[in-house]
A and B are shown apart, each in its own frame.
Chain A
Amino acid sequence: MRNSLGALLAIGLAGLQFMAVLAVVFSSYVTSERALLDHARDLLSDVGTNTIEHSRGFLSPARGAAELSARLAQDRVIASDVPELLEQLLFQQLQLAPQFAGVYHGSEDGGFVYVMRADASAPGPFRTKIIRVRGDSRNTELIWRDNEFNVIERRFDPEDTYDPRTRPWYKRARDQLTTIWTDPYIFFSSQQPGITLASPVMDGTDTVRGIVGVDIEISAISDFLARLRIGSTGRALIIHQNGDVIAHPNKELLKTKDADGTLRFVDITQFEDPIARAAFSGLKANGVVPTPTETLSQFSYGGETYVSVIMPPISEHLPWTIAAYALESDFTEVIKQNRLQNIWIAAIVAAVTGLLGLALANYIYKPVRAFAVRSALIAQGEIDPSEPSPKTYEELDNANRTLMQQIARRRETEMEFGQTFALSSRGMAQIDAGSGRFLRVNHKFCEITGYSEEELERMTFADLADPSDPPFLLPAADTGATPQEINHEMRCLRHDGTAIWTMVNAILSFNQEGRPLHFVLTMDDISHAKRAEEQITELSKDLSNLSRDNTMGQMAAGLAHELNQPLTAIAQNADSALFAIDQMAVADPELRHTLEEIADQSMRAGEIIKALRGFIRRDEGMKTAFDLPELVQQTRRLVMAEARVAGIAVLCETGPLPPVNANRIQIAQVLVNLMRNAIEAVAESGQAGGQAGGQVRVTASVEDGCVRVAVTDTGPGVDPEITLFSEFETTKVNGMGLGLSICKSIVEANGGRLWHEPAPEAGATFLFTVALATA
């Protein structure tokens, strides 16, 4: 199937722009989605990074402070065994870092100096606890101070049994001989979450003299997290490697009370923030909470889509994982709205540009369509190819011109053929090669056959043939050896039942595959020519009969004349003798009888000759009225063969004449004889060929109530020594000398005259007259 240019253009232009719009929309959809997610991830990542930095920044002073204190003690810059000095140092350290909850030093002997921030109900903002150990005795002093290190209140606590050496931080730092960080826990005193950093104070190389510790409250981290804005509902939290949630914007959620009343952190799997629980419970299920790399993921909760990020642990000492989540829609809502808007815009743009595309396609296609419509109309003959074509493309215009020329030429040819067919003076028919049925016939064909066009279209060619003739069939179309052209003389039965002779010429045409299509048949009615031919043949036959008869008759007549002469002499002489005997006195009766016999026998011989002549002349008087010029033409055809051989032109200039009354065949004999004589005379004189050469001319005119026919030749003329028209006298080698005398007697028998005149220039003219047929 061919594609329509119009459809292709429409699909092409509208479709292409639609695809382009779709591609832009889709790509922006995808890229915006990715940008969105990247943005979310970056945001969360930033949150994580910030939190990490914040936590580090929050915790690193503690380490600095603890290690500084440990080194000072170690280097005996301050005497760790002088609690007052130690207290002062620790107080300074505590004042430096607001996140420090307390700074302390425990010694191997069980002594302990502890400076801490007091709660609001205490007498001063700072409280110091000093445990002094002397041998087995110990005392515990509590000192409250203000910011200026002034003592506000001082008292002892005899009940105190605290021994630093039993505390986990002390043990771990002493065992590991390096600075250690404890896991976060809830401080007993402040009931705030925090961590403890412990650093050993060494004596010499390997002896531990005491441990310096720093308590850091990490609820400040939660405060920091609470200050972070992550979308509308996003949160960041810190999960310890054991699964405890140690920082969360909502600090209240962190703590829980065990059955024995001790506070502890809430595990992520039981955490009261359901979104966080949903997002990060999986971390613990995997066993190890910290992930080595930053991980961004998406999850659904409560029909909403969230994005989450998990940061790698802050440091070796702080195995904390910062986790953050946020509602995806916080980032994508605007973009999604924007995207919807974009889709609407794109759809409108697509529709508008699609319509424009269609309009453009239509604009481009319009001349093509007009061209196609015009071509179709021309093909159906509804408009003329010569009409000006609509404005169109140059290429189409060129094609159109070529096409129009071709169409015009084909039209012309078809019209010529059609006119030739319809107006032909010959009968023409188109016949189906297979069935022999008439497809189309022209007027002349109907005229020849006597059938109407409608009747013929229901007939086959074979129906026309005269059934009494051997059947002539057009060759079967499916035989391979079909001749292309057939000529045949055929007798047809006309509609009225009369038989006519026709000349049929059939040409078989083939289609491109070589299969026979139809016969184009031309038919001529040759009955008239056939009749004329038959007439001439008959005339020729009659003439040869007549010629024989005439020759015999003329011979008889000639003989009669010749014989009658001596017979007359005999009869006269016998009678003379009889007369002489009668004059004698004595006459011998026997002699008289003999002479009588002689005279009688000569008379009897004369009678016999007369009877013979009468018998030969039996056809005298068969006169008919006929057209002399027609007879001249027919006789001319009889002598044409000889004339052609001799190269002599025979001209008949008779013109129309009234009918004459004579024996037609006898007159034909005269004409043939005279023409033949003329041809022979010219031929013998050696004038042959060409217009300048010899010719024989037959003319006829009406004169004195009869038609005078003249046969003139350009031969040598008649020798004056010759006696014309006498029997047995001839100049011809093969002649009997009867021709002219026969002609003469024929003409005279028909009441005319035959004579000779010398031709005006050279040659001879023989003339004879034939009586007109009087009405």
Chain B
Amino acid sequence: MTDRLSVVYVVDDDQDIRSSLSRALGQRGFDVRPYDSAAEFLDGYDAETAGCVVLDYGMPGMNGLELQAELNRRGSPLAIIFITGHGGVPESVQAMKGGAVDFLEKPFRQPVLVERIEAALEIAEDRHAAMAQQREILARLARLTAREEELVEMMMANPAEVSSKELGNQLGISPRTIDHHRARILEKLEVRSLVELVDLVKRVEGAGPMLP
């Protein structure tokens, strides 16, 4: 899988760790991007590309857990593998609670790491794809006018009573006009039926404020 575009970020304050991991992962064809602190990473990471972060748990300044929290706050789909020299059960529990995909105690063998990275990247790519789709759906939703958006919300709120007549009564406009709006909505959202519309909207419901 050398043609992959997946990025592996290495965030560790230890120079030796960074260089050895960069070398090892580079050899295996990963796009390795090392950072010596959480702050630097936040400045430099590519939010558009799927990838994973090999993150040192205990760092001066913002530590691994804090960085994880920040990424979660930003809605990043990056998958995180913690590596730690402390290696305690409490630390790993906290990390996993925060959504980390893996937790490795230092030192570790490279095949293990590569195996975990590949698994993480798969997760990251799935997340990335899902996010891209959501973003596309949202882009479609963004085409709607205010009236159309209102109608979508009403249809989502009560999918059982969505006849044009009922909607027209609720909004005080004619069923014909409703029918016209509905046709425009299906067109704009690129769906063919009300069922597809509901499915589409549901896929983006609950997603955070992901739009740039």
Contacts and interface: CB of A to CB of B under 8 A. Distances in A.
25 contacts: A560-B87, A561-B85, A561-B86, A564-B107, A565-B16, A567-B106, A568-B16, A568-B85, A569-B19, A569-B20, A571-B110, A572-B24, A573-B24, A575-B110, A575-B111, A576-B24, A578-B110, A599-B109, A603-B107, A605-B107, A606-B107, A610-B105, A613-B87, A723-B60, A723-B61
B83 interface: yes
Count class of interface residues, chain B: 20 to 34
Given A561-B58, A565-B106, A568-B20, 9 more contacts: A568-B85, A571-B110, A572-B17, A573-B24, A576-B24, A599-B109, A603-B109, A613-B86, A749-B90
B25 to A, nearest CB: 9
A726 interface: yes
Interface in A729-763: 748-749
A610 B27 contact: no
B24 A579 contact: yes
- Please indicate which of the listed interface residues A565, A570, A613 has the most CB atoms of chain B within 10 Å of its own CB: A565
A418 interface: no
Interface in A548-562: 557, 560-562
Nearest to B61: A723
A692 interface: no
Contacts of A564: 85, 87, 105-107
Interface of A: 557, 560-573, 575-576, 578-580, 599, 602-603, 605-606, 610, 613, 617, 723, 726, 748-749
Contacts of B107: 564, 567-568, 570-571, 602-603, 605-606
B28 interface: yes
A748 B16 contact: no
Contacts of A573: 20, 23-24
Nearest to A565: B14
A572 B60 contact: no
A592 to B, nearest CB: 14
Main secondary structure of the interface of A (DSSP, over half): helix
Contacts of B90: 748-749
Contact of B27 (A565, A566, A580, A749): A580
Interface in B120-161: none
Given A576-B20, A579-B27, A571 B86 contact: no
Contacts of A565: 14, 16-17, 85, 106
Contacts of B110: 571-572, 575-576, 578-579, 599
A563 B110 CA distance: 18
Contact of B86 (A557, A575, A599, A603): A557
Interface string B20-60: 11011001100000000000000000000000000000101
A515 to B, nearest CB: 75
The 6 closest A-B pairs by CB, nearest first: A575-B110, A561-B85, A564-B85, A572-B20, A569-B16, A564-B106
B106 A576 contact: no
B11 to A, nearest CB: 14
A748 B21 CA distance: 30
A599 B110 CA distance: 9
A617 B20 CA distance: 31
A562 B85 contact: yes
Contacts of B28: 579
Contacts of B106: 564-565, 567-568, 606
Contacts of A561: 58, 85-86
A613 to B, nearest CB: 7
Contacts of B23: 572-573, 576
Contact of B105 (A562, A575, A606): A606
Contacts of B19: 569
Nearest to B21: A572
Nearest to A563: B85
Contacts of A567: 106-107
A580 B28 CA distance: 10
Contacts of A617: 88
Nearest to A749: B90
B13 to A, nearest CB: 9
B58 A571 contact: no
Nearest to B104: A568
Contacts of B86: 557, 560-561, 613
Contacts of B108: 568, 571, 603
B86 to A, nearest CB: 6
A548 B119 CA distance: 43
A571 B86 CA distance: 17
B109 A575 contact: yes
A571 B60 CA distance: 24
Interface string B80-95: 0001011110100000
A291 B85 CA distance: 168
A566 B27 CA distance: 20
B52 to A, nearest CB: 17
A575 B85 contact: no
B60 A726 contact: yes
A575 B14 contact: no
- Please indicate which of the listed interface residues A564, A568, A571, A613 has the most CB atoms of chain B within 10 Å of its own CB: A568
B111 A568 contact: no
Nearest to A572: B20
Nearest to B23: A576
A294 B36 CA distance: 171
A748 B90 CA distance: 8
Contacts of B111: 575
Interface in B97-115: 105-111, 113
- Please indicate which of the listed interface residues A564, A566, A567, A599 has the most CB atoms of chain B within 10 Å of its own CB: A564
Nearest to B89: A620
B10 to A, nearest CB: 11
B87 A568 contact: no
A282 B88 CA distance: 162
A575 B24 contact: yes
Contacts of B21: 572
B109 A560 contact: no
A621 to B, nearest CB: 11
Contacts of B24: 572-573, 575-576, 579
Nearest to A570: B107
Contacts of B20: 568-570, 572-573, 576
Nearest to A602: B107
B27 A571 contact: no
Contacts of B85: 560-565, 568
Nearest to B110: A575
Contacts of A570: 20, 107
A557 B86 CA distance: 6
B136 to A, nearest CB: 39
- Please indicate which of the listed interface residues B61, B107, B111 has the most CB atoms of chain A within 10 Å of its own CB: B107
A570 B16 CA distance: 9
B211 to A, nearest CB: 32
B17 A569 contact: yes
A749 B86 CA distance: 13
B15 to A, nearest CB: 9
Contacts of A723: 60-61
B200 to A, nearest CB: 39
A607 to B, nearest CB: 9
A6 B28 CA distance: 134
Contacts of B16: 565-566, 568-569
Contact of A568 (B17, B27, B58): B17
A567 B109 CA distance: 10
A128 to B, nearest CB: 199
A571 B14 contact: no
Contacts of B58: 561
Contacts of A562: 85
A606 B58 CA distance: 17
Contact of A610 (B14, B61, B83, B87): B87
Nearest to B16: A569
Nearest to A580: B27
A496 B94 CA distance: 54
Interface string B170-192: 00000000000000000000000
A554 to B, nearest CB: 11
A740 to B, nearest CB: 13
